[in-house]
A and B are shown apart, each in its own frame.
Chain A
Amino acid sequence: MKIVVCVKHVPDLQGDRGFTPEGRVDRSQGDGTLNELDENAVEAAVTLAETHGGEVTVLTMGPPDAEDAVRRGLQMGAEHAVHVVDDALAGSDAFATATVLAAAVRRIAADGPVDLVVTGMAALDGLMSVVPTLLAAELDLPQATLAAELTLTGEDTRTVRVRRDLDHVVEVLEADLPALVSVTDQANQPRYPNFKAIMAARKKAVSTWSLADLGVDPAAVGQAAARTTVVEASPRPPREDRVLITDEGDAGLRLAAYLVENRLV
């Protein structure tokens, strides 16, 4: 079985995150990391490959630094890594991202069909959660997103079964392979690569592909092709008039008074 995991390199959550004057995520801080939620996607893919046989390719798109994200995927047990990097990609929206990832998945499929595409539930910088769905649409694959539990069932384990916990309903979905799934942070506990795994990953190569390698028109991606443009980005001013008290026996009364005064009850 051939599995592709799509991952993203994002600014560290604990770091000082912000935007450039052009309204793009500032990636100049150099403290990027594999999107934490994508570790669950890599874990899910590697576990499936270990259980059912097969190999995992970890795929990312992004500036040169983004290679760190696929390197982490290799350490976690992926066999192959692909990094799509091209100056024309800067400022790409979710649609362009899905177009490029789809082209890369098709190229990975050139030497044998891809059975399953796995993604995380969201990138912790944008939090849009729409690329998995758009990627499934671009690849014309059935989708089963937000898996809190993921198994392969059916004849020859050619059916993916997913349990998803939505806000008002719990669903079990099934789709025949090939398919796309996204997994939540409830799906598994990502492994922490040991020294041996880290050393083994050093020997694995990362394939670097450009838009030309993928046959994607540079005019179809990047800021110029984006359907939205950030006209203003500003840090939110700190909250004013903040009150901090230490309870001396009447804090509950003062809290109630505060709520009434601010018309919050």
Chain B
Amino acid sequence: MTQPAVLALVDHHDGVVRAPAFELLTLARSVGPVEAVWLGSGLAGALDLLAEHGVSTVHHVDLDAEATVATSARALAEILVESGATTVLLSSTFENKEVAALTAHETGAGLSVDAAGLERSGEGRLVVHQQAFAATWTLQVEITTPRAVVAVKPNAVPAEAAPTGETPQVVSHALVHPPAARTRVVERTVRPSSGRPELGEAQVVVAGGRGTEGDFSAVEELAEVLGGAVGATRVATDEGWIGHETQIGQTGVTISPRLYVGAGVSGAVHHRGGMQSSGTIVAVNADPEAPIFEIADFGVVGDLFTVLPQAAAEVRRLKAEQA
């Protein structure tokens, strides 16, 4: 029996595909033939990459960059119904979670967000792996409706190219029933890129907390060497030491990188809720009683201003040796 197609929404900025989209395509291939959905402009430049990742068909709707979640959801819902696919996958961002919810609302699909994995049951239903309560519990959730909409966390799987590439066919759609535009975007300011990976998508994150006392130089240096993103605790952002967009936690950015390094981070419950599903957790803190040591794979009781630079220099040296 051939599996019904799986639609994957490909997130992009200015025509550049965001890293989690390739993870999504990799995961999608494991549950059915993959068809991509591209909303907005810039598709032509991305077709080769989509082909390498096993996309056989690209559904394209030419929405403008300020399209609201309602418009994106309507587009996905119409493509889902028209294409005969049964599943829509999205990357789990705040906006995409809303798009996912509305798409499911319009199509009667079952919904899961912040998925950490995905498989098909013996009966062909989707089973979603989830984490709960700051990743202290794991859940297997079966979607019992014929249609499913699932938003997948970044770093759920490593992105891999397909064994055989495809020559994708592009199918253009126009919105049949555009939703009433009742929410107006009156200002839109794109944040300048830091040149590092996006915090929510990064495979390595180095985070600074109260222990930095506002000096993030050691944190930034180690992030640079490891090719990672810089994050922070609520205390650090509230103190104005670093921008609010770097706050890791249940109300900030939720991360699950392969490697998390917490420097001067005590490990308050709100922070843990945003990073506890990380692959490997490293903590450097002067206080041996800091709760973060309870969840650290590698903990150092010490001064972050000596330990981090020493580690950065050593990693740099080892890398140079290998090269």
The B interface, classified by DSSP as helix, strand, loop or mixed, is mixed
Nearest B residue to A175 by beta-carbon distance?
A: B183
Q: How large is the interface on A (under 10, 10 to 19, 20 to 34, 35 or more residues)?
A: 35 or more
- As a 0/1 sequence over residues 13 to 40 of chain B, the CB contacts with chain A under 8 angstroms (1 = contact) are 1000000000000000000000000000
**Which of B135, B226, B253, B296 is close to A167, meaning CB atoms less than 8 Å apart?**
B253
Q: Is B215 an interface residue (CB 8 A)?
A: no
Q: Is B143 an interface residue (CB 8 A)?
A: yes
Q: Is A233 an interface residue (CB 8 A)?
A: yes
- Whether A236 lies near B131 (C-beta < 8 A) is yes
Kindly list chain B residues whose C-beta atoms are within 8 Å of the C-beta of A234: 137-138
- Whether A245 lies near B259 (C-beta < 8 A) is no
Kindly list chain B residues whose C-beta atoms are within 8 Å of the C-beta of A231: 127, 140-142
Q: Known interface pairs A167-B199, A170-B191, A245-B299. Does A130 touch B269 (Cβ–Cβ under 8 Å)?
A: no
- Whether A19 lies near B137 (C-beta < 8 A) is yes
- As a 0/1 sequence over residues 294 to 323 of chain B, the CB contacts with chain A under 8 angstroms (1 = contact) are 011111111100111111111100110000
- As a 0/1 sequence over residues 178 to 221 of chain B, the CB contacts with chain A under 8 angstroms (1 = contact) are 00001111111111000000111000100000000000000000
Q: Is B236 an interface residue (CB 8 A)?
A: no
Chain A residues with a Cβ under 8 A of chain B: 13-14, 17-19, 23, 37, 93-95, 121-122, 124-130, 133-134, 137, 142-146, 161, 165-176, 179, 184-186, 226-236, 239, 241-247, 250-260, 262, 264-265
Closest A-B pairs by Cβ, 4 of them: A252-B310, A247-B302, A227-B110, A256-B314
Q: List 25 A-B contacts (CB under 8 A).
A: A128-B114, A129-B94, A129-B113, A130-B101, A130-B111, A142-B182, A144-B183, A161-B186, A168-B13, A170-B188, A171-B188, A172-B187, A175-B182, A227-B111, A229-B142, A231-B140, A233-B139, A242-B297, A247-B301, A251-B300, A252-B306, A255-B282, A255-B311, A255-B314, A258-B282
Chain B residues with a Cβ under 8 A of chain A: 13, 69-70, 93-95, 97-98, 100-102, 104-105, 108-114, 127-128, 131-133, 135-145, 182-191, 198-200, 204, 226, 244-245, 250-251, 253-254, 258-259, 269-270, 273, 280-282, 284, 288, 293, 295-303, 306-315, 318-319
